[in-house]
Amino acid sequence: MDAGRAAPESDPGRLVRPFAIGVDGAPATSGLDLLTRVVARRPPGDDDHMRPERESLLRLAAQPQSVAELAALVGLPLSVAKLLIADMIESRDLALCTSASAVPGDDVLHMLLDGLRAL
Amino acid sequence: MASADSDNVAPHSGAGSGAEPGGQIPLAVKILVAGGFGVGKTTMVGSVSEIAPLSTEEVMTEASMGVDDLGGVEDKSTTTVALDFGRITVNQQVVLYLFGTPGQGRFWFMWDELAEGALGAVVLADTRRLDTCFPAVDFFERRRIPFVVAVNRFEGAHDYGVEEVREAVDVSADVPILLADARDRQSSKSALLALVEHVMHRRSPAMSARPLP
């Protein structure tokens, strides 16, 4: 372990202590699946840098983004990301875009065919 | 931000698609790329994805995953399951996500969530160890999820014919089997096309445009 290593001479940038991620209670994650899309209701604010994962999520979800992509981009295990996202939906920092991935109709299948052929 | 009152954000409410800025959200379609460990799932995802494949993981403990239990997780035996995926923007209305399913059989628990709402699956097979694709084939057959079998052609592997593979894997005659190279974008694209055509065929035999090549 390198816990006792001296700090580097060069400017390490903003340093943040490795706090645990706090989530109040146990928000329901059952409505969230991998392809649920969420969008930020607000840009990250001055207070958010104390909670870097939430700050990142607000930034990454400026445009609608899937739960799977958010988890990967923030680097959190899926179940943890889901908890955090559910909590941020409850606190109205994020909003759901769609409920879940629906089974696509025939029109969508035709679009898929055309789109894949054009790749 | 607009419409702060109009959508109630309870996770189950399905708050509605048009409630937020940005208007219409594209429909997300999910296709799974399954098969045994090391058969080329992530390679195939990467060869057609418009983004470098992303990886997320699920950390599992042997204890039940009670939310209030997380404090003691470090004392339990944990397993990490990596989940790789990619994305193809089909058009403004449809986005296709490709998920490489964890290969090892002990990760079945993740397959259920992955399979939920999936359009279908490409099962990658390696002729040097065909049996590694059997669990995936069984899984999709049992759940009536449409799939095609793509035989990934590895260097040094004997080239079997499609019918030989069909016999060995024992899938029904209407399941398309094709030879593929997971590294090749066109080849992976063909596998996805074969799957979409198969899904259309299953829904309505009359609407299938033409037999698969």
Return the residue matching tokens 């739960």: A67
- Most confidently modeled of A10-14, B15-19, B68-72, B132-136? B132-136
CA atoms of B98 and B87, how far apart (whole Å)? 6
Tell me the ipTM for this assembly. 0.77
Q: Which of B57-66, B77-86, B179-188 has the lowest mean pLDDT?
A: B57-66
CA angle B165, B166, B167 (to 5 degrees): 90
For B127, residues 6+ apart whose C-beta sits below 8 A from its C-beta are: B151, B154, B157, B158, B159, B160, B165
- Whether the Cβ atoms of residue A90 and residue B9 lie closer than 8 Å to each other: yes
CA distance A9 to chain B (A): 33
Query: CB-based contact (8 Å) between B31 and chain A?
Result: no
Position B138 scores a pLDDT of 92
Inter-chain touch A79–B59, beta carbons under 8 Å = yes
For B36, residues 6+ apart whose C-beta sits below 8 A from its C-beta are: B103, B124, B126, B129, B132, B133, B135, B136
Over residues A9-23, the mean pLDDT reads: 65
For B156, residues 6+ apart whose C-beta sits below 8 A from its C-beta are: none
CA atoms of A89 and A41, how far apart (whole Å)? 9
Judged against a pLDDT cut of 90, whether residue B89 lies above it is answered with yes
Query: CB-based contact (8 Å) between B97 and chain A?
Result: yes
Does residue A117 sit in helix, strand or coil?
helix
Topology given in CATH for the domain delimited by B25-66+78-207: Rossmann fold (3.40.50)
CA atoms of A37 and B19, how far apart (whole Å)? 13
Which residues face B89 on adjacent strands?
B95
Position A115 scores a pLDDT of 94
Structure confidence by residue, pLDDT tens digits, A91-109 = 999 999 865 446 688 889 9
Position B66 scores a pLDDT of 46
Query: CB-based contact (8 Å) between B197 and chain A?
Result: yes
How many beta carbons lie within 10 A of that of residue A34, not counting itself?
24
End-to-end, the C-alpha distance of chain B in Å comes to 51
What are the distances in angstroms from CA B196 to CA A4, A5, B122? 56, 55, 10
Binned at pLDDT 50, 70 and 90, residue B7 comes out as very low
Question: Would you list the domain boundaries of chain A?
Answer: 37-117
Q: Which of A68-77, B38-47, B55-64 has the lowest mean pLDDT?
A: B55-64
pTM for the predicted model, two decimal places: 0.79
Please tell me what DSSP assigns to residue B143: T
Inter-chain touch B20–A95, beta carbons under 8 Å = yes
CA atoms of A69 and A61, how far apart (whole Å)? 10
Length of chain B: 213
Length of chain A: 119
Inter-chain touch A98–B25, beta carbons under 8 Å = yes
CA atoms of A88 and A58, how far apart (whole Å)? 9
CA angle B201, B148, B81 (to 5 degrees): 130
More confident residue, B45 or B159: B45
CA angle A18, A23, A27 (to 5 degrees): 150
More confident residue, A64 or B57: A64
Position B10 scores a pLDDT of 35
Judged against a pLDDT cut of 60, whether residue B143 lies above it is answered with yes
Residues from chain A that touch B205, judged by Cβ atoms under 8 A, are none
Which B residues 109-168 touch A at CB under 8 Å? 113-114, 116-117, 119
Please tell me what DSSP assigns to residue A100: S
Which residues face B28 on adjacent strands?
B95
Question: Would you list the domain boundaries of chain B?
Answer: 25-66+78-207
Query: CB-based contact (8 Å) between B81 and chain A?
Result: no
Query: CB-based contact (8 Å) between B25 and chain A?
Result: yes
Over residues B127-138, the mean pLDDT reads: 89
CA atoms of B44 and B33, how far apart (whole Å)? 8
- Whether the Cβ atoms of residue B162 and residue B179 lie closer than 8 Å to each other: yes
Binned at pLDDT 50, 70 and 90, residue B157 comes out as low
- Whether the Cβ atoms of residue A28 and residue A83 lie closer than 8 Å to each other: no
